Structure 1
């Protein structure tokens, strides 16, 4: 099974999920590879599964899907709910079947990405950053497919407090969300 290169975030995520299934890393043979190398090896049949901690569509997964029939590994009944209950920072993520040309859609576990700045960053700069991103999402999404998944109001549901500049940005747009 592909895990990412040493120091990546996949291992922590997997170490959270495996015990929920009474499993550990000792139950498999992990391959610590770069993302692109791992999906290349999945395409070549050198590994059986790849764990992708990424937005979608992910280029390496799309490349693997171009020459292979891929399928999502489904959660056993009740296991996604158990995981979300164990750590409410995670959420269920629906991946339509047309994203990777799979036979059926996938239900994955995910976490929101955050843009983090120093507390000393001026509120005006933070507001400008959020304006540049969130007020131009259509333009951003035209350049980056992952940007289509950005939902600005999800920023109000993070597990850390908002910077004062972010609070001002969202307060000014409260009627939109």
Structure 2
């Protein structure tokens, strides 16, 4: 009797196990059947091209723009899966790209040039990249508050000043601007902080001012202006001329009235933001990415979108080569690299 009862229990257990295995097999088959089609029913070739776009900190301009660009690539280019990555911005992006750990990166035109030449923050030349195109002017903003009493670059002497993340393009800009004003990094109490950390430090009273090189308006500074009377320190015309002569990447720029609550236009300098790609990316892929970006600038959900155009995308690229895929697109548009 006990033997018969044990056999019955064993039979029940085997039947249950069989049902579980059948269910698992059905689930797997259903999943496989759905491959090649995303949740919106968009057909896919089955081949995935993973694209990592190196941007910058969350308080700057690169990151929100990067999210827009990758969303466009994902929507418009079959088989592409692109993501925007938070980084330390220009200089870090060039180094990361050189190591093959990403495919596309935001950078400044001056930083890309330094990388090609092995100067400044690059002990060795970085040559495994090509340009996709320039985007918009990146404005050098020397940020402080009304209560600091800082009104000129010379007033930074002896103050605690953030020059941006260590090795960043902003740090290079800060050093060069201090230089034409007769100052060095030894004349300030230097801090190496991200944009968010810089504005938080100003708000908390831990630092007096910060250099921020980014498209205006910059999110981190807008956040500060919600609680403090923000002052952007101007650069005078004569010093702008000195910068342009010694460092040809710079051009005069103005921050419009009303930005961060300002009551007057502010003169400063800017360099260009750009996108670079690894030179081993397929020509057709870069062509599609370039075309998608510059044919959809009206869909860019950021104020800098109106400054991005194919017609100006080859400005500031002196000494740099276009990726063949990008060149194909600009050739079709009749736009040539001078």
Q: Are the structure 2 counterparts of residues 45 and 148 from structure 1 closer, same or farther at C-alpha, using a change threshold of 3 Å?
A: farther
Structure 2 gaps, min length 5:
1-160
Across the aligned residues of Structure 1 and Structure 2, the Cα RMSD in angstroms comes to: 1.9
Instruction: Select 1:53's aligned residue among 200, 203, 213.
Output: 213
> In structure 2, how many angstroms separate the alpha carbons of the residues matched to 1:152 and 1:83?
28
> In structure 1, how many angstroms separate the alpha carbons of the residues matched to 2:253 and 2:237?
16
Give me the TM-score of the superposition, normalised by structure 2: 0.48
Match of 2:288 in 1: 128
Instruction: Select 2:229's aligned residue among 34, 46, 69.
Output: 69
The structure with higher relative contact order (CA 8 Å, sep 6+) is 2
Alignment of 1:28-177 (within 5 A): 28-140=188-300, 143-157=301-315, 158-159=317-318, 160-174=320-334
Give the structure with higher Rg (CA). Answer: 2
Structure with the larger strand share:
2
Deviation at 1:7, TM superposition (A): 3.0
Deviation at 1:62, TM superposition (A): 0.1
Deviation at 1:80, TM superposition (A): 0.6
1:5 aligns to 2:5 (yes or no) = no
Aligned to 1:42, the other structure's residue is in SS state helix
The answer (yes or no) to whether the contact 1:84–1:91 under 8 Å persists in 2 is yes
Residue-pair matches, total = 173
Q: Are the structure 2 counterparts of residues 12 and 3 from structure 1 closer, same or farther at C-alpha, using a change threshold of 3 Å?
A: same
Give me the TM-score of the superposition, normalised by structure 1: 0.87
Runs of 4 or more consecutive aligned structure 1 residues displaced over 4 Å after TM superposition: none
Q: Are the structure 2 counterparts of residues 44 and 97 from structure 1 closer, same or farther at C-alpha, using a change threshold of 3 Å?
A: farther
Instruction: Select 2:177's aligned residue among 4, 7, 17.
Output: 17
Higher alpha-carbon deviation: 145-154 or 159-168:
145-154
Deviation at 1:36, TM superposition (A): 0.8
Write out per-residue CA displacement over residues 26-55 of structure 1, whole angstroms, 9 at most, x where no aligned residue: 111122222212102222333221111111
Q: Are the structure 2 counterparts of residues 106 and 174 from structure 1 closer, same or farther at C-alpha, using a change threshold of 3 Å?
A: farther
> In structure 2, how many angstroms separate the alpha carbons of the residues matched to 1:152 and 1:94?
23
